Structure 1
Amino acid sequence: MPAAPPFSLVFLHYWAGSGREWHGVAADLGVDCHCLTPDLGGFGDAAAPTGGYSVEAYASEVEALIAQRQLTEYVLVGHSMGGKIALALAARQPAGLRGLALLSPSPPTPEPMTEEERQQSLGSHGDPEAAEETFNKITARPLADELHQQVVADNLRTSRAAWDAWLLQGSREDLCARMPRVQVPVCLIAGTADAVLPPQVHQRELLPCLAEKTTFHLIEGAGHLLPLEAPGEVAQLLRQFMAELVAEDKAVSKAS
């Protein structure tokens, strides 16, 4: 029997999504892996966040959850919007953070989005037809009907305040000046068929801000919703990342 992963995994979901996007990944990792998949404030079943909707406010919300759960060693796993929140929290150098796994993350720079696209998205809140169009844009691999309906339902139940705040504020925030404070190992994962944040965006906007030892993995033929389109491949990369963290710990311990 393989040993249980030594770290808890704290999963942060995408904009207009919810924590349940990670259920397939968590199931593939197995019951021995301690996984937290919270809904962020204003998304899924979560109430409005008490501290506001900025990236830093969400980072504080996640930090409070980690303290509440008394996690001593953990890895942040952020997808899209959740990736930018994970970067903001990692820049605080919180105790117990061992690594950062980013799936098609919103970059630390303002997200590449035209004003026309922004206004179109602002006007599409709560629109079932627009939610279907979004689903078609953000996926490349076919999904089971149950997951298709989940993506659409999560889109439609996002609160107006959380929806607008990301488009008008969070996606525009620039965290670049804080990125040198991200000192933990980083694993970056992207889909080659991502029409929202293609791999070249990460190469241009994120990788130059991070340490050279950052690893970059591509999942062939996957779109933006990696946890739903490729849960097994994501889980395998997370297992590999955790194994690398353990090996690094052993090497440091042996050297000292």
Structure 2
Amino acid sequence: MSQGVRAGQASAVLVLLPGAKMHPDDVIRAGWHDILREAGLDLDLHVPDLHLDPAGQVDALAHLANEHLASLRQRYARLWLGGISLGGLLALLQAQRDPAGLQGLCLFAPYPGSRLTTNAIERAGGLEAWVPDDAQRDDVEFQLWLNLREGRPSLPSFLGFGRDDRFAGTMRPLAQRLSRSTVHEVPGGHDWSAWDPLWLTCLAWLSEHGVGKR
């Protein structure tokens, strides 16, 4: 299931990937569609249900690319990609693999990987010193950090999270690796208390980055 706002009427679309155990209806209940409509931006919101879970990330990326992005690129002149939590991780991975046609990223508390991943990199002496083994190169969480070290993706990026988010300590260095990022920290944790106000800030950021009014 996917949900959109006046699908096909805008010239731009934001594909927003929900987090693990989240569905498009969660975004509707949070009022994000209504807020976008009130903002009057020339932007549709497409929220696909990728049935996200940590074990299904690779399949989710293939589904995203083949079942959603391919058709949306034909319907819209400009395509933005974003996500919440695990959806943010997938958005980053997709942008690293295939940035063609993407205007930029809108990331809400993007999941930076498990402690097993980030601790392994730290034990190796940090991201610059870390030499991934074959198993790590095949793991999507390690791929995220390897690609970040190589400067990918190089896209305008909005990245916001709550100061009390349990992943905040790792999201900060992640944000530093995005060379064209705008970072916002707000009160709140890894939940809607932070994401709701960040949505308003993100819409303003999109307006500053070329998304006009209807």
TM-score, length-normalised on structure 1? 0.59
Q: Which has the higher contact order (CA 8 A, sep 6+)?
A: 1
- In structure 1, the gaps of 5 or more residues are 44-51, 115-168, 248-256
Give the percent of matched residue pairs that are identical in Structure 1 and Structure 2. 25
- 1:19 Cα deviation after fit: 2.1
- Tell me which residue corresponds to 2:48: 38
Q: 1:1-256, aligned counterparts within 5 Å?
A: 6-23=11-28, 24-30=31-37, 33-41=43-51, 53-64=55-66, 65-69=68-72, 70=74, 71-107=76-112, 110-112=113-115, 172-179=141-148, 180-194=151-165, 196-198=166-168, 200-204=169-173, 206-211=174-179, 213-220=180-187, 222-225=188-191, 228-230=192-194, 232-246=196-210
Contact 2:88 2:110 in 1 (8 A): yes
SS at match of 2:104: strand
Deviations 1:118-153 (A, max 9, x none): xxxxxxxxxxxxxxxxxxxxxxxxxxxxxxxxxxxx
Q: Encode CA deviations 1:83-142: one digit per residue, 9 max, x unaligned.
A: 1100111112333210101111111xx42269xxxxxxxxxxxxxxxxxxxxxxxxxxxx
- Please give the secondary structure, in 2, of the residue aligned with 1:37: strand
Preserved CA contact (<8 Å) 2:85 2:111: yes
Alpha carbons of 1:19 and 1:56: their partners in 2 closer, same or farther (altered >3 Å)? same
Which amino acid in 1 is paired with 2:190? H
> Within 2, Cα distance between the matches of 1:56 and 1:210?
22
Question: By how many angstroms is 1:181 displaced?
Answer: 2.7
- Name whichever structure is richer in strand by fraction: 2
* Partner deviation per Cα, 1:171-195 (whole Å, 9 max, x = no partner): 754322223231210111001222x
CA distance in 2, matches of 1:88, 1:246: 24
Distance, in Å, in 1 between the alignment partners of 2:10 and 2:186 is 23
8 Å Cα contact 2:158-2:205 kept in structure 1: yes
CA RMSD for the aligned pairs? 3.0
> Measured at CA, do residues 92 and 42 of structure 1 come closer, stay the same or move farther in structure 2, by a change above 3 Å?
closer
Residues 181 and 219 (structure 1 numbering): CA distance in 2 closer, same or farther, change over 3 Å? same
Gaps of 5+ in 2: 1-8, 118-137
- Other-structure match for 1:146: none
Task: Give 1 or 2 for the bigger CA radius of gyration.
Answer: 1
Q: Secondary structure at the match of 2:209?
A: helix
TM-score w.r.t. length of structure 2: 0.69
Question: How far is the alpha carbon of 1:7 from its aligned partner?
Answer: 2.3
